[in-house]
Structure 1
Amino acid sequence: MTILVFGRTGQVARELQRQSNLQTLGRDDVDLTETQAIRTAIEAHAPHAVINAAAYTAVDAAETDEATATAVNAHAPGVMAQVCALRGIPFLHISTDYVFDGTGTEPWRESDTPSPLGAYGRSKLAGEDAVRAAGGHHVILRTAWVFSAFGSNFVKTMLRLAQTHDNLRIVADQWGGPTPAADIADALLRMCSALEHGASGGTYHFAGQPSTNWADFARAIFAQTGGKITVEDIPSADYPTPAQRPLNSRLDCHAITRDFGISPPDWRMGLHAVLTDLAS
């Protein structure tokens, strides 16, 4: 099975490359703001499936550059999905918890009504709508709080700050499920195989368990590394950012387990694997 992946240097794209022999396309290969470039790339590689692991992920920057975020996160996956629909091949697309407004405390289900708080969430929701509108065989995989040994993420930020700080003030009123990129990659590959063999697609949630907050996640990181860092809980109001963050990013993952036999990962085990990876 030949799989074409849009994205090469992102966290999930890097993990996909570690787990499978597939073709990746980076920024130097295709401009995601150019419709014809996307079409040409898929047609030239003639894959059996396409995974979109590319995205505009600068949440704060999107507040002043929504046009670019929308081009990459909405228009591009829409074009990918259209081409895949015409070729009759599965298309798998990664989305985010940011499509929800973060109200309440219950995990969000796939059937819940999205209501993004900012530009990034709006661009990702528009991408979901474009993929569905293409009418092809697809999966939209919403995930949250991604971390790995690659790129920029919360785990690597905490390790960097621990080198120069004894005390850190971390937001404690935002809740979600830290998700290892390696497990997202594994889920995508398993779903890709299932789709090729006739499984139905749709929208699914996939995030680490159990739910936690950023402050407790930081404590878990330092506990596993032996760092003597004091973490002080603060509310989001004490750490203002250009883009408002959802307070509740918990995702209900029962559907993906029911339909694909994929269980949400224990992020604590994933954290240990990432820290081991970074240490080596």
Structure 2
Amino acid sequence: MAKWTAFPYAGEFDFDAERVKKNWARLHTGDLEPLPEDPRLLDAWAQFHSGKFHQACNSGLQLGLAGLNVANKATCMYATYLEKHEERRLALFLEAAQRAEHHISQEPDNVNAYYLHAYALGRYSQGISVAKALAQGMGNKIKTNLETVLKRQPHHPDAHIALGAFHAEVIDKVGSLIGAMAYGAHRDMGLNLLDQALKLHMASAAGMIEYARAMLMLDGETMLQEANRLYQQAACICPMDAQEKLDLELARAELAD
């Protein structure tokens, strides 16, 4: 496997197991991951929050099923924000999706296994083109998994974000009529999901970014001012960990464009 690119802000977030445990509720407001009891799993999450994504992935994989969520999240965040080589990005998303699918088969009550499966497939779909992914049947898998998460955990902010973005992406690529008929995608439902995500997690820069993108996909230039307001708000968030730092920098890049 190719070497993973290092987190560009190394040392800015220095977590250990104790600090992760102390700040768990804030760090996991988005995904509602349960606080682990195994100190080895806390160490893996400390690596994740510090931006040591490759180490977090390897540490998680060494723990078997118990470590798959941290391994898959580390893989997805790294591939989303730091991997520049497109083929490697896609391969990483597929690896995470396959592991998450196995995780679901072994622990069908693990809510974030469904979420991470949907997230990995969603990013992979964006990479190969959403239209192509829909034709391959990935859209229904993504939607079903995210709806499963929200049925079991109705206040899961990250699932609201991902499902809201799904509705917007589908409509943007195939139109409102086909989107509604073939995939159950609706403009208002997508925007409402994103709005609800920010009510559940007001400090989510990722939620602000996806909400802004959805507005622009669905309503175009008429929402440019509101989208820029959301990007500006995201760019002012005080990041708690490595992932939030990458979200903040992404928001700044969107504003610069």
TM-score by length of structure 1 reads 0.33
Which protein has greater RCO, CA pairs closer than 8 Å, 6+ apart?
Answer: 1
TM superposition score normalised by structure 2: 0.35
Bigger proportion of residues as helix = 2
Structure in which a larger fraction of residues adopt strand: 1
**Larger Rg computed on CA atoms:** 1
